[in-house]
Structure formats: C-alpha cells, structure tokens
Structure 1
Amino acid sequence: MYPYFVPLLTALLLSGCSSFLMEGTSAGAGIAGAAIADSMTDNAALATGIGLGVQAAAKAGLQYAQRRTRAEEQDAIAQAAARLQVGEVGDWAVIHGLPIESDAQGKVAVSRLIGGIGLSCKEIVFSVVAMNAPPETPHAYYVTTICDDRGQWRWASAEPATARWGSLQ
C-alpha cells in the first residue's frame, strides 16, 4: 500500500466530527491524487485534473457513507416506533456498520397517528445521544413522521436519508 493512503484511511476509520472527516478525506485525497498524478504525467494540467478527480471521488464516497449512516439511525428509530401506540415510549439503538459516526441510542414516543385509506403514518418524538456519552450528556430531541410502506416503516421526511431526493440532500 502506498504511504499517501495512510492519512485517508485513518480519517475514514476514525469515528468523530463530520467536519474533521470531510477535511481529512479531502486532504488525504489531495495527497493521494498528487502522488498518483506525479507518477503518471509531467503535464501540469493533466496532473491537476487527476488530483481534482481523486478529491471529488473521495468526497462523494464520504458523503455516501454519511448518508448510509444516517439511514441506519433513521431505520432503527422507525422500527422502534413502529411497535408503539400513541403515548407509548420505547428505546432505540444503532451500531453503525461504518465507524464514521458514534453509535447512537435514545427514546422514541408516538405523539399522534396520521393517515387515511391506504396511508398509515405516525408523528414521533425521539431523542439521540451517543452510546459512549457520559450519563449527564444532554439528549437532542427531534420530531418527524414515519409511514408504513407495505409493512416496512420508513422515514417520511425529505432529509437526509430519503433516497428519492438524491443529490438535493
């Protein structure tokens, strides 16, 4: 393995701050792109294009991984809320497949039912806290809607893991 990939891999494997990951990925990709370009050509314009292409690909890969991580959390919350009736409170937790964000947990409650013929949705209130956070860490609270999609409860908001919006997220 080439030594210029070490910063990129380190940034991707570390769990933590999103801005650190984005900047670390960008910097690592810049270093890797420069090394690749240097080994392939002496043409400055071509080398710049290669470097920018590697950097863009690395950023796109990180953004994809971040969307997948958020989708894991949203799916865990939706599945926990699916079993609840109005006024009930349950627990949710997720252990991420990619360690780019902290594993999370919290409470979820159904505040009301929304729907009609062929449409079954729930408005939910949920809390989020990192699993490794000290007990005194305050929770963040949010409100969203989930809907039953042929037996699979899914996030109904257009943020950030709703696949239909693609690059508009």
Structure 2
Amino acid sequence: MRWCLPAGLALALAGCGQVADISGAVAGGGAALASSNPAVGYAVGIGVRAAVSAGVSEVMKRRQGAEQDALATVIGALEPGETRPWQIRHAIPIGNQQGEVRLVRVLDNALAQCREAAFSVTGDATPAAPRQWFLTTACRQPEGWKWAAAEPATSRWGALQ
C-alpha cells in the first residue's frame, strides 16, 4: 500500500485533463496485482478511465452552463449601451470568472426576444491580463435569459464556450 500516497499525490497534481488517465492506470494496476491477471487489470483500468472521464465531462459541462447562465442573466437586465460587471463563483473556487458585459443591441422579433452583447472574461488568476472582448447572444426563455450562442469548436475564450 506504499504506492497509494504517490498515486494520490499524482492524481491531485495532475489537473482535470489527466485525472481519468491516472485513475484508470492506478485502478488497473491495482486490479492486475490483486487478481494476478493482466487482462483483468486492463479491463478495470479502461472501465475506470471511461467512468472518470464521463464524470469530469459532466462536471465541466455544469460549470460551463452556470457561467453562461450568469452572463445571460446580466445581459437580460441591461439597457442598450449599458455596461455592468458580471461574475461567477463556483462552489469549488477553481475557475471563477468575472468581467464586464455591454449590451450591443436588442433583437426582438415574432419568434424570440434576444440580445446581443459584448463581454470580457478575467479569471481570478489573471485579473491584470489585457482585456479581450467577445460577442454573444442571449434569448428570453420561460425560465429566464439563456445563452444562445454555439461555438463548440472554438477554444479562444476557454471554458465559457
């Protein structure tokens, strides 16, 4: 059991991108040692990696949705040309974001009430970084204002996409 402490430290220091790989390797190695069968270890390792990867993806998706909802709520309260600060504070204080939102125009039509806004993103780790502005759209839904822009292949502004 001496390998548990280094494995735990490696897992803690790895970051979200490597958690699934390290968890799968540790679980697979432990299963292979316990069963004396490398095939069992391989199967357990792949299963654990897949489960942890799905869990991390779900957590990141929920955090992203909370960030988008925070921005959309502020966008819904703005008047054209008005600028206000926005922020998101997660329960686990990693990846908290903040910045400003400026309502660019209102896009009302018979189908939906939408608003186009420019926003900046500044994380807690880099509050003095140069400000970059991004454009998005939020539309009124029955449950409130929601993010309406889709940019799944764009990594230009990190986890908010």
Q: TM-score normalised to the size of structure 2?
A: 0.79
Q: Is the 8 A contact 1:33 1:52 kept in 2?
A: no
Q: Which residue is equivalent to 2:17?
A: 22
Structure 1 CA distance, aligned partners of 2:136 and 2:97? 17
Structure 2 CA distance, aligned partners of 1:138 and 1:5? 36
Q: Is the 8 A contact 1:69 1:98 kept in 2?
A: no
Identity of aligned residues (%): 30
Give the 5 Å matches for 1:115-134.
Answer: 115-134=108-127
Larger RCO, structures 1/2 (Cα 8 Å, 6+ apart)? 1
Q: RMSD of aligned C-alpha atoms?
A: 2.4
Structure 2 CA distance, aligned partners of 1:11 and 1:64? 20
Offset, 1:52: 0.8
Structure 1 CA distance, aligned partners of 2:45 and 2:55? 15
Q: Is the 8 A contact 2:29 2:41 kept in 1?
A: no
**Aligned with 2:121: secondary structure?**
strand
Q: Which residue is equivalent to 1:15?
A: none
Q: Which residue is equivalent to 1:65?
A: 59
Offset, 1:40: 4.7
Q: Aligned pair count?
A: 150
Q: TM-score normalised to the size of structure 1?
A: 0.76
Give the 5 Å matches for 1:75-154.
Answer: 75-99=69-93, 101-135=94-128, 137-154=129-146
Offset, 1:32: 2.7
1:157–1:35 distance in 2 versus 1, CA, 3 Å:
same
Q: Is the 8 A contact 2:28 2:45 kept in 1?
A: yes
Structure 1 stretches lacking a partner, 5+ long: 13-19, 161-168
Q: Does 1:45 align with 2:39?
A: yes
Structure 1 CA distance, aligned partners of 2:30 and 2:146? 42
Q: Which stretches of structure 1, 4 residues or more, deviate above 6 A after TM superposition? A: none
Q: Does 1:7 align with 2:10?
A: yes
Q: Does 1:74 align with 2:77?
A: no
Q: Deviations over 1:129-151 (max 9, x none)?
A: 1134243x112321111010015
Structure 1 CA distance, aligned partners of 2:78 and 2:137? 14
Letter of the 1:105 counterpart = Q
Offset, 1:39: 5.3
Q: Deviations over 1:27-58 (max 9, x none)?
A: 42133322441355222222211101111111
Q: Does 1:155 align with 2:147?
A: yes
Structure 1 CA distance, aligned partners of 2:132 and 2:78? 21
**Aligned with 1:80: secondary structure?**
helix
Offset, 1:82: 1.0
Q: Is the 8 A contact 2:85 2:101 kept in 1?
A: yes
Q: Is the 8 A contact 2:117 2:137 kept in 1?
A: yes
